[in-house]
Chains A and B, each alone.
Chain A
Amino acid sequence: MPVPDFEPVIGLEVHAQLLTRTKIFCGCSTRFGAPPNTQVCMVCLGLPGALPALNRAAVEMAIKAGKAFGCRIAERSVWARKNYFYPDLPKGYQISQYELPICSGGAVPVPGLGSIPLERIHLEEDAGKNVHTATGSEVDLNRSGVPLIEIVGKPALRSAEGASEYLKSLRLCLIYLGINDGNLEEGSFRCDANVSVRRKGESKLGTRVELKNINSFRFVRQAIDFEIARQVELIESGGKVVQETRLFDNEKGVTRSMRSKEEANDYRYFPDPDLPPLRVSKEWMEGISTPKLPHEIADALAAAGVSQADARSIVSDPRLVEVHRKVGGDPKRAALFVVGELGRAVNEKEADLSALKFDPALVQEVWKLQDAGAISSTAAREVLAELIRTGEAPQKIVERKGLAQVSDQGALEAVVDAVIARNPAEVEKYRGGKVNLLGFFVGQAMKDLKGKGNPGALNALFKKKLGP
């Protein structure tokens, strides 16, 4: 929704749950979906006397993200208590990082937009779940203590579309890094948007509004578009944008003020005395490897001849990248297989990328058969489909289904001669100029061969025998 005269300024804050096996400050499992309050202990319940014990794996995942996005990794970072009262916050404070976070700076690569700069990435613990009922709330603390990284983007985005692309790219990067599962519905990847507008040409930032409860990419665009329009209308009619937090109502497509705040929360941040400052040595940091990010892999594929579109499709899922790698051989041809046959099979639920029934290396065997003329290209497609479905060896599929193509020159020549011999009228017409009768001849030969003739070879033979 382009709004002339005004420029939107958007910065996104993403909270991503880390794929550690245990919570950030205790050994409780982080598995999603357990019955309420069955994955809790004295620490994540905030019982008197309990103390936090920091999980090394959570720190390593944060470092991984920091390295991948080119952040500065702090050699010394400090845990801070963010104090407020809410039923899903058992200690009455959240352990987070405030003045000295583990990562600062950096940028997220977004295809089409370039690098979108980050402010910082820090570690913190998740709160539990508060479910409102008719009479009050029910509190489930299974989620309390799950490790989060908060990725704070600078206000560098200029459209709802851009925001959505940024989120998609960030999400995919985190999946590739193996630190987040990208599940917006389950809430393991959450996004808040800070939105303000200013007249074009102005350098000062407008008052920003925080949008919450955005849990799909489509809602991101809707919520931000609505908010931009609301702010512009407000200003143009002489009003002022109030700094506040607004909830996105995804049924009505509008943002609404959260009137419950009597006064802005004073979180009274101070360094948590139960946790010594976190020290990340150079050795530790250097020892943490980061896998390639999707855009790097897409670039490499394109350099190897794969089309941009196919490259983008493949990197949209790290499992597809893995299959492509395992297929091997010509990258472009492998890409066509992945995007084509495999893509179709996945769409039709004939293949599960998490549990492939076939060895991708066998695809090359099918190509060999095709290139040698042993099977036609149509047959090859059928073999591949069957391979995907059952994992059966390609040669066996060809034999079982009788897909072998006759390519032997002698055998073909015999058939060609036979067809020419019994169709003298058509031969004459062809020799008289009706060259499109070639298809008829090839068709006749195919009939005789029960469809197993090598069409290219037949074509060539007929041309030779009939031609001038």
Chain B
Amino acid sequence: MKADLLPLSLVSEALASGTVPADALLEAFLARIRALDGRLHAFLRLTENEAWAAAKASVQRRANGKALGPLDGVPIALKDIFCMEGVETCCGSRILRGYHPPYDATVVRKLRQAGAVIVGKTNMDEFAMGSSTENSAFGPTANPWDLTRSPGGSSGGSAAAVAARLVPGAFGTDTGGSIRQPAALVGCVGLKPTYGRVSRFGVIAFASSLDQVGPFAQDVKGVAHLLGAVAGHDPNDQTSSERPVPDYASALDKGVRGLRIGVPPEYFGEGLAPEVEKAVRAGIESLRAQGCEVRETPLPNSPHAIATYYIVATAEASSNLARYDGVRYGHRAKASQLLEMYEKTRAEGFGAEVKRRIMLGTYALSAGYYDAYYLRAQKVRALIRRDFDQAFASVDAVISPTSPTTAFRLGEKMDDPLAMYLNDVYTVPVNLAGLPGISLPCGFDSKGLPIGLQLIGRPFDEETLLRIARAAEPAEQRLPPILEGR
């Protein structure tokens, strides 16, 4: 297979062995982006100058025997939520149109230090609020498997870019499933690390106690390389952990004999599409055949997760988004006095879903409602965490579907916000508990749409998660139809 169709870890090997130089590789991906992204709309903007400079520097380093590591020369896309100095960063919103951050996110700095070639910023639901990328102020992204369908969200652009082989690797953020759900819907691997594993400095905030940065790639080993480049303590983010970062790629092929997997019955109930269930259960069986012990691990507070999430996340968001007031940056409405300026700026700059969530969050924190809503939700959150702690006393990972359905049609769920929220039923508990979670492809439905299965691990035990994911990942890569006709 040509290098530009390989999964990330094999692209990395091709670069290392000299089979393909970094600049030729970049040209191949840019050509594909030019050919296909008009239909996909995964990218909001390209950073070609920076990419060429990085590719050339990579070639130079390799020629001098000074290659940096597995990401040296590898093209990467970044969700438009990561601040890049001097590069327009809008977070999918009109309110940040024309905003050029004066600083780099820590993750961006680390990727550059690893020699990665940053190709561009990808589309997303506005302020990461959404599960379909339809809430972007700049138009939706299409699913490479069916252009009339959504790639999921909010990191839909990054997921679609990887699945359509526009880049071998990409980064997104996950607050309630925004990496895992799109990964499932486009048929690639997506990881949300443990809360605190990766720095949030320079990552535009949605819900501070839930947001985490994570990688997309077609292969588990690729995801391991990407995670290794960005994980670690950052003094600029005092919620980031000081725990040492292991070599995630080294333990991948240990196999799963003797590892214990938990199946939560609550995640296999009403609302789950039968074909999705079938594929996930087949994945469980495949792990059992490889030597995993499989047992039931109830997570009884799961039915409360969505409600809990939509109070906690919106409350934090309502506060995080208060800074978009037209005073120092971004959009400002014409107004003759201050209150009018604030109200019009935010009315003009924010889309409907963002406004809804700000209102919900403000309500949940407001006088008289704080105890009944926010405080209570944080207590239920503790119970959800406790369920997982109890499960991990007897298993090493929990397995479930990632999304209750495969990719839905663009426009299908836009009239009923609550229906859209219910897409996140299997993913939000993981953010509430601060645990690592990964989605990997486990088959296709009768429409040819990808199905994803989710593995949830102990805090800071991404190694075990990656190891099990490696054992479960499909042996072969199927290419999406948009790539046919090449």
Chain A's closest residue to B102 (CB) is: A42
Tell me if B362 counts as interface (CB < 8 A to partner A): yes
Q: Would A273 and B316 count as touching, CB distance under 8 A?
A: yes
Tell me if A406 counts as interface (CB < 8 A to partner B): no
Bound Cα distance from A93 to B321, whole angstroms: 10
Chain A's closest residue to B200 (CB) is: A51
Bound Cα distance from A81 to B319, whole angstroms: 8
Tell me if A190 counts as interface (CB < 8 A to partner B): no
Known: A51-B201, A51-B237, A87-B338. A92 touches B319 (CB 8 A): yes
Query: How many residues of chain A have a CB within 8 Å of chain B?
Result: 31
Q: Which of B90-118 contact A (CB under 8 A)?
A: 91, 96, 99, 101-103, 105
Which one of A49, A53, A81, A268 lies within 8 Å of B202 (CB-CB)?
A49
Bound Cα distance from A47 to B100, whole angstroms: 11
Q: Would B365 and A92 count as touching, CB distance under 8 A?
A: no
Q: Which of A259-305 contact B (CB under 8 A)?
A: 266, 268-270, 272-276
Tell me if A440 counts as interface (CB < 8 A to partner B): no
Tell me if A83 counts as interface (CB < 8 A to partner B): yes
Tell me if B66 counts as interface (CB < 8 A to partner A): no
Tell me if B72 counts as interface (CB < 8 A to partner A): no
Q: Would B91 and A48 count as touching, CB distance under 8 A?
A: yes
Q: Would A91 and B322 count as touching, CB distance under 8 A?
A: yes
Chain A proximity of B367: nearest CB distance (Å): 5
Q: Would B365 and A270 count as touching, CB distance under 8 A?
A: yes
Bound Cα distance from A269 to B315, whole angstroms: 11
Bound Cα distance from A96 to B89, whole angstroms: 30
Q: Would A266 and B366 count as touching, CB distance under 8 A?
A: yes
Q: Would B328 and A46 count as touching, CB distance under 8 A?
A: yes
Q: Would A45 and B96 count as touching, CB distance under 8 A?
A: no
Which one of B201, B202, B236, B323 lies within 8 Å of A91 (CB-CB)?
B323
Known: A46-B328, A92-B322. A51 touches B236 (CB 8 A): yes
Known: A48-B99, A90-B328, A92-B325. A274 touches B105 (CB 8 A): no
Give the interface residue-count category, chain B.
Answer: 35 or more
Chain A's closest residue to B209 (CB) is: A273
Q: Would B235 and A270 count as touching, CB distance under 8 A?
A: no
Q: Would B374 and A270 count as touching, CB distance under 8 A?
A: yes
Chain B proximity of A123: nearest CB distance (Å): 15
Q: Which of B200-217 contact A (CB under 8 A)?
A: 200-205, 207-209
**B308-347 toward A: CB 8 Å interface, digit per residue (1/0)?**
0000000110110111010111000000001000100000
Chain B proximity of A47: nearest CB distance (Å): 7
Bound Cα distance from A113 to B319, whole angstroms: 44
Q: Would B105 and A49 count as touching, CB distance under 8 A?
A: yes
Tell me if A50 counts as interface (CB < 8 A to partner B): yes
Residues of B within 8 A of A92 (CB): 319, 321-323, 325
Residues of B within 8 A of A90 (CB): 323, 327-328
Tell me if B301 counts as interface (CB < 8 A to partner A): no
Q: Which of B133-186 contact A (CB under 8 A)?
A: none
**B203-240 toward A: CB 8 Å interface, digit per residue (1/0)?**
11101110000000000000000000000000111110
Residues of A within 8 A of B203 (CB): 49
Chain B proximity of A14: nearest CB distance (Å): 26
Q: Would B208 and A274 count as touching, CB distance under 8 A?
A: yes
Which one of A42, A54, A139 lies within 8 Å of B238 (CB-CB)?
A54
Residues of B within 8 A of A48 (CB): 83, 89, 91, 96, 99, 101, 204-205, 323, 329
Give the most central of A51, A90, A139: most B CB within 10 Å.
A51
Residues of A within 8 A of B338 (CB): 87, 136-137
Chain B proximity of A78: nearest CB distance (Å): 12
**A28-63 toward B: CB 8 Å interface, digit per residue (1/0)?**
000000000000001001111111111000000000
Tell me if B370 counts as interface (CB < 8 A to partner A): yes
Bound Cα distance from A87 to B342, whole angstroms: 10
Residues of A within 8 A of B370 (CB): 268-270
Chain B proximity of A364: nearest CB distance (Å): 52
Chain A's closest residue to B199 (CB) is: A51
Residues of A within 8 A of B365 (CB): 83, 268, 270
Q: Would B327 and A49 count as touching, CB distance under 8 A?
A: no
Bound Cα distance from A51 to B235, whole angstroms: 10
Give the most central of A46, A49, A50: most B CB within 10 Å.
A49
Residues of B within 8 A of A54 (CB): 238
Residues of B within 8 A of A136 (CB): 338
Q: Would B322 and A85 count as touching, CB distance under 8 A?
A: yes
Q: Would A53 and B235 count as touching, CB distance under 8 A?
A: yes
The chain B residues found within 8 Å of chain A, CB to CB, are 82-83, 89, 91, 96, 99, 101-103, 105, 200-205, 207-209, 235-239, 315-316, 318-319, 321-323, 325, 327-329, 338, 342, 362, 365-367, 370, 374
The chain A residues found within 8 Å of chain B, CB to CB, are 42, 45-54, 81, 83, 85, 87, 90-93, 136-137, 139, 266, 268-270, 272-276
Can you list 5 A-B contacts (CB < 8 A)? A42-B103, A48-B96, A48-B329, A266-B366, A266-B367
Q: Which 5 pairs between the two chains have the least Cβ-Cβ distance?
A: A92-B322, A273-B209, A273-B208, A268-B365, A49-B202
